[in-house]
Amino acid sequence: MGVRGTARKKDHTPVMRQFLRAKGQHPDAIIFFRLGDFYEMFYEDAVRAADILDIALTSRGTDPDGSKIPMAGVPHHAGAGYLAALLRHGEKVAICEQMGDPSSVRGVVPREVVRVVTPGLCLEPDALDARSENFLVAATRDGGVAALELSTGTLRACVIEMGPQWVGELVRLDPAEVLIESGAKELEALCKQSLPNAALRTVELTNGAEDLRETLTAEQAAELSSQEPAGRAAALVLGYARAHQAASQIHQATLYTAGDRLVLDDAAVRNLELVRTLDGERRGSLLDLLDETKTPMGARGLRSRLLEPLTDIERIRRRHDAVELFFIDARCRDRCRARLGEIGDVERLAVRTAVGLATPRDLGVIRNSLVSAAALHQQLTERPGTDLDDAMASLQRADLCPDVLAMLQAALVDEPPSIDRQGGIFADGHLDELDALRKLSTTAK
């Protein structure tokens, strides 16, 4: 029996009433309902998840009418992997957590949905390919296209004439999830044909101007609104993100023009095997052959550049100038690559930190990466005989976040744990009260 076929909520147990309330708030999502050390799923959620995840389908109690309630569960500590599998199948998942310690709460532990994750609105490392962008794309019937990369906090929008170029742009973006303006049946058919692996959803554009104004800066909103189709597509993306409590981490929004680069159509990308072979594998593609990058950011940047070759000769020359130093100076190149190999995915870790999802180990990676970035910056800017022209001038403007680095160096132990409950996060001398408690604990033994 499905949730919609159950009796009144008051006829259920207190825990099941909590589940039904969460399901009522997010009817189109699978509810990951925290019960002790497990995420449990019930009713049709359990049936669907059991099939996708290949886990046992059991039951928990009965409905008031006597029918068994289907149930499937996954261990809390392994939840990220199961969540990633559901997202790869295009599912939306609402995570309903316990809002208190069961050992200290009298009665039923309060539970609330703390976040909703979709294929295109995802910050979970297990569900993301570190070497590829993860786009949520919106398309309008008048040629507006907007692409949100939530894990890096960036939004881009443009206007493209409907036709092969429009399809080519969507194929290049390779979105995990696509939002189609309600009623645009032709767009829906095009996306189903061209983007078979993307989760496709139809959405209504309701408060477009408000979504832009409430999420972006005044300058960003004005820029996107200057081209109405692009603004409408951006509003679709932002409205969807706001509805899923995922808009606060967007820090960059820009309008771009597809005409300053070569737009490759679906057939060219596929037949040239630029990023995947004809069998759909990355291994053996041109990207696989060329990718010698040392950081996740570099890998994502290379993929993006390969799929959007420049057509402006001056920009091409500047790009060539930027690599000339490393081409002619093998020693400098090797030293820089060694430093780059010490830098983690700070672009995505910064967003996870901003929304409160970073682990102590993540903060340690950020600290170590900032140290290596500072050394790399010094190595390049102080290199004898280097003329920092336009291609290298961005190094001089780089914000290496010295205040953040100093704070992390003072606060964290050398190797922070992956889970905060393990303790051992803060270094001795950082907090007097913590030092006193540690000393008391040691002497008590």
Do 138 and 113 lie in one domain? The reply is: no
Burial class (CB in 10 A: 0-12, 13-18, 19+), 428: exposed
Q: Residue 1's pLDDT is what?
A: 46
Q: Residue 345's pLDDT is what?
A: 97
CATH number at residue 226: 3.30.420.110
Do 143 and 58 lie in one domain? The reply is: no
314 part of a folded domain: no
Do 163 and 295 lie in one domain? The reply is: yes
Q: Are 241 and 136 in contact (CB under 8 A)?
A: yes
What is the DSSP secondary structure assignment for residue 92, as one 8-state letter?
-
For the entire predicted model, the pTM comes to 0.87
How many residues are given for the chain?
445
CATH number at residue 35: 3.40.1170.10
Q: Are 247 and 148 in contact (CB under 8 A)?
A: no
- Taking only the tens of pLDDT, the chain with its 445 residues reads 456 545 455 678 889 999 999 999 999 999 999 998 999 999 999 999 999 999 999 998 888 778 899 999 999 989 999 999 999 999 999 999 998 777 777 778 899 999 999 999 999 998 999 999 999 999 998 899 999 999 999 999 999 888 888 888 898 899 999 999 888 888 888 888 889 889 999 988 776 777 888 888 889 988 988 898 999 999 999 999 988 877 677 888 999 887 677 878 788 888 999 999 999 899 999 999 999 999 999 999 999 999 989 988 988 988 888 788 788 888 889 999 999 999 999 999 999 998 889 999 999 999 999 999 999 988 887 776 555 555 566 666 778 899 999 999 999 999 999 888 778 899 988 888 888 888 887 776 5
Do 158 and 298 lie in one domain? The reply is: yes
232 part of a folded domain: yes
Q: Residue 378's pLDDT is what?
A: 87
Do 141 and 256 lie in one domain? The reply is: yes
Secondary structure (3-state) at 156: strand
432 part of a folded domain: no
Alpha-carbon gap, residue 74 to 82, rounded angstroms: 7
The count of structural domains within the chain is 3
Do 185 and 287 lie in one domain? The reply is: yes
427 part of a folded domain: no
Which residues fall within 8 angstroms of residue 188, CB to CB, at 6 or more apart?
A: 180, 200, 202
**What is the extent of the structural domain holding 92?**
3-117
Instruction: Point out the domain boundary residue: 272, 306, 340.
Output: 306
312 part of a folded domain: no
Alpha-carbon gap, residue 253 to 155, rounded angstroms: 5
216 part of a folded domain: yes
Alpha-carbon gap, residue 25 to 14, rounded angstroms: 17
Do 281 and 339 lie in one domain? The reply is: no
Do 373 and 226 lie in one domain? The reply is: no
Do 154 and 298 lie in one domain? The reply is: yes
The per-type count for the chain, helices as H runs and strands as E runs, is: 18, 12
169 part of a folded domain: yes
Do 298 and 178 lie in one domain? The reply is: yes
Do 75 and 154 lie in one domain? The reply is: no
Alpha-carbon gap, residue 350 to 153, rounded angstroms: 9
Alpha-carbon gap, residue 366 to 368, rounded angstroms: 6
141 part of a folded domain: yes
Instruction: Point out the domain boundary residue: 68, 91, 117.
Output: 117
Do 273 and 411 lie in one domain? The reply is: no
Q: How far is CA 82 from the centre of its chain?
A: 16
Neighbours of 17 (CB within 10 A): 15
* Residue carrying structure tokens 């000393």: 439
